[in-house]
Amino acid sequence: MTKSKILLYLESLALCLSAGIIGGLFTTSAITEWYQYINKPSFNPPNWIFGPVWTLLYFMMSIALYLVWQKGLKKKENWSAFIFFMVQLGLNTLWSILFFGLRSPLLGLIDIALLFITIVVVIYKFFRINKTASLMLAPYLLWVTFASVLNFFIWKLN
């Protein structure tokens, strides 16, 4: 791997991990001050599972982004895929702000619905550029699907 490719991957990693770090700023205190006291469905996983799962997903997202980004962004198709990826990353971060920061399961639910749709679009666009990149996002889509169902039930129960 050349130096420029290493730097490009590090940029991809920094973008994805930044989303997690920003989201974490809104999540950490809300877990002990709010989340632990609200009604949750029986299938709610233990709090400790979220950190490792999201960390792994952010690493996989960074690899997927890198695989597309290294193809260059001059082609309209690549640029579009990159932009949609950045939009979904923004929606990902916004979810933590809405759900945990504002303590609003309803706003979180609206955001996560948009996030789900955007991830599907990103997977489609990445598939046209690099199939491995799109496959790297499949676990992310599955986790967001689960999180959407969880978010829905939390909204209904509260």
Q: How confident is the model at residue 138 (pLDDT cuts 50, 70, 90)?
A: very high
Q: What is the CATH number of the domain that holds 48?
A: 1.20.1260.100
Structure tokens given for 94: 């916004």
Tracing tokens 């971060």 back to the chain, one arrives at 93
- In contact, 30 and 101? CB cutoff 8 Å: yes
Residue 1 pLDDT > 80: no
Q: How confident is the model at residue 62 (pLDDT cuts 50, 70, 90)?
A: very high
Q: Using alpha carbons only, how large is the chain's radius of gyration in Å?
A: 16
Question: Quick one: average pLDDT of 48-71?
Answer: 97
| Model pLDDT for residues 9-41, shown as the tens digit of each residue | 999 999 999 999 999 999 999 999 999 999 999
d(CA 96, CA 101): 6
Which class for 139: exposed (0-12), middle (13-18), buried (19 or more C-beta within 10 A)? middle
Number of domains in the chain: 1
**For position 3, what pLDDT does the model report?**
75
Structure tokens given for 154: 């939390």
Residue 154 pLDDT > 90: yes
**For position 103, what pLDDT does the model report?**
98
**For position 2, what pLDDT does the model report?**
81
Q: Which residues contact 78 (CB under 8 A, 6 or more apart)?
A: 68, 71, 72, 129
d(CA 136, CA 132): 6
Question: Quick one: average pLDDT of 124-140?
Answer: 98
d(CA 18, CA 91): 13
In the chain, the percentage of residues whose pLDDT exceeds 70 is: 99
Mean pLDDT of the chain: 97
Question: Quick one: average pLDDT of 40-59?
Answer: 96
| Model pLDDT for residues 74-92, shown as the tens digit of each residue | 999 999 999 999 999 999 9
Residue 107 pLDDT > 80: yes
Residue 78: which domain range?
3-157
